[in-house]
Amino acid sequence: MNRMSAIHDTVYKRTQYDVIVVGCGGWGLAVLKVLTDMGLSVLGVERAEICHNLRHYMKHMVMHSVLSYMILDPEDKIVARKGDDHHPLIEELIQSYSDFADKFDLPIKTHHELLDVEGAKGAFEVTVRDGEGRTSCLGAKRVVLATGSYDEPNLAGIPGELNGSVHHYFHEWEHIKDKRVLFIGGGFSSADGIIALCPRNRILWVVRKSNDAVEKMLTDQKTVWGQPDAHLVNTEILTDSQVISLENNTAVVQTPGGRQTWDFDLCYMLIGHKPNQSLCTRLLNGNLDFDEETFESCERPGVYLVGALAKKHLEHIGLTHNLCPDNDGVRYIERIRSAMQQEFNCSGQQFR
């Protein structure tokens, strides 16, 4: 891009906020509400729709947590209808978060992606790009990053893992039938995906875990995580095993009893995800460490890390002690609230 078009594309709005919250998943929304209640001038920027990452999880997934751990509004109509112990479908949770943003009229610019943060505490310049490719620069005294941990898949260094028939996200699945499907990874994502696909497909599930660990997870799936009808059919499980090649749609699997091969139509390699690495490098030198009490970045004063991006407070966002007395999310939100209270010397309502 030449200099003239760069200038043309850049609309310098020079708007100044106390805090810009980047990412409007559950955590970004919760932080926006808390800071707005404190009377701060706040803006949320979200690269797509609210809860963009949740919209790209597995469709119709039953959330492992019960509503009371995740709900933001204690008067939410979904809670009122279903009860605090209900395991919501992911679509219900997205609806509930969208209703929350609407009800409290949270200040959010959707379809604005964070590209960079320049400057220092008290005078950040936050560059965002809108859905039409125009960039603008917003001023903020503090920046809260709530961008999640779902941008890039973890890889295992297996030959063939980047081939087209190997997928690292499990999203659209209803159309898949009569296929030989390989699952790699012993986490809940694989278990959820296999439960969805196994009635109409043939599955091989390769896990490093022991047989006992897999059995326990499947039992928990039914008894603890809200899927009482979950059961596996058409599924062979190779435990204590690992895939060593995926080339040419053939899996070579190292099992305790030796090597086996298995031809597949498609493979789901679900071994976790991580944040956008180049953004983390640009903003934080790749260092995601933060102060445990305030969530302020160790690398970049004035920038705060919350939610799945900060890993340690990944889950349990609920905003009230009423709904969920042991909810860590409440304590985390309280910490960022009191950190900002000190920074801006203002008061704020405490959640009960």
Ligand X SMILES: Cc1cc2nc3c(=O)[nH]c(=O)nc-3n(C[C@H](O)[C@H](O)[C@H](O)COP(=O)(O)OP(=O)(O)OC[C@H]3O[C@@H](n4cnc5c(N)ncnc54)[C@H](O)[C@@H]3O)c2cc1C
Interaction site with ligand X (CB under 6 A): 22-28, 45-48, 51-54, 57, 63-65, 69-70, 113-114, 146-148, 150, 189, 279, 307-308, 314-316
Token representation of residue 173: 């699945």
What's the rounded Cα separation, in Å, for the pair 228 and 94? 23
Minimum distance, C-beta of residue 92 to ligand X, in the bound complex (Å): 12
What's the rounded Cα separation, in Å, for the pair 286 and 273? 16
Residue carrying the six token digits 């890993």: 311
What's the rounded Cα separation, in Å, for the pair 172 and 160? 22
Residue 145's SS3 state is strand
What's the rounded Cα separation, in Å, for the pair 95 and 93? 5
Minimum distance, C-beta of residue 333 to ligand X, in the bound complex (Å): 12
Would you give the DSSP letter of residue 349? P
Token representation of residue 327: 């909810």
Minimum distance, C-beta of residue 143 to ligand X, in the bound complex (Å): 11
Minimum distance, C-beta of residue 165 to ligand X, in the bound complex (Å): 21
Minimum distance, C-beta of residue 126 to ligand X, in the bound complex (Å): 10
Interior angle at CA 59, CA 153 and CA 80, nearest 5:
120
Are the CB atoms for 226 and 64 separated by under 8 Å? yes
Minimum distance, C-beta of residue 178 to ligand X, in the bound complex (Å): 25
Residue carrying the six token digits 């042991």: 326
Minimum distance, C-beta of residue 250 to ligand X, in the bound complex (Å): 27
Question: What are the φ and ψ backbone dihedral angles of 104, each rounded to 5 degrees?
Answer: -100, 10
Q: Which is nearer to ligand X, 181 or 253 (CB)?
A: 181
For the chain, what is the radius of gyration of the CA atoms? 22
Q: Which is nearer to ligand X, 28 or 348 (CB)?
A: 28
Task: Give how far Cα 58 sits from Cα of 22, 89, 93, 103, 189, Å.
Answer: 24, 10, 13, 27, 8
Minimum distance, C-beta of residue 39 to ligand X, in the bound complex (Å): 23
Q: Which is nearer to ligand X, 189 or 249 (CB)?
A: 189
Provide the CA 69 distance to its chain's centre, in angstroms. Answer: 16
Q: Which is nearer to ligand X, 66 or 253 (CB)?
A: 66
Q: Which is nearer to ligand X, 161 or 192 (CB)?
A: 192
- Pairing relationship of beta strands 135-145 and 123-130 according to DSSP bridges: antiparallel
Residue carrying the six token digits 């509400």: 33
Q: Which is nearer to ligand X, 31 or 267 (CB)?
A: 31
What's the rounded Cα separation, in Å, for the pair 172 and 169? 9
Closest CA to 59 of 99, 26, 93: 93
Task: Give how far Cα 22 sits from Cα of 1, 106, 274, Å.
Answer: 26, 13, 17
Q: Which is nearer to ligand X, 69 or 264 (CB)?
A: 69
Q: Which is nearer to ligand X, 302 or 329 (CB)?
A: 329
Q: Which is nearer to ligand X, 150 or 351 (CB)?
A: 150
Minimum distance, C-beta of residue 305 to ligand X, in the bound complex (Å): 10
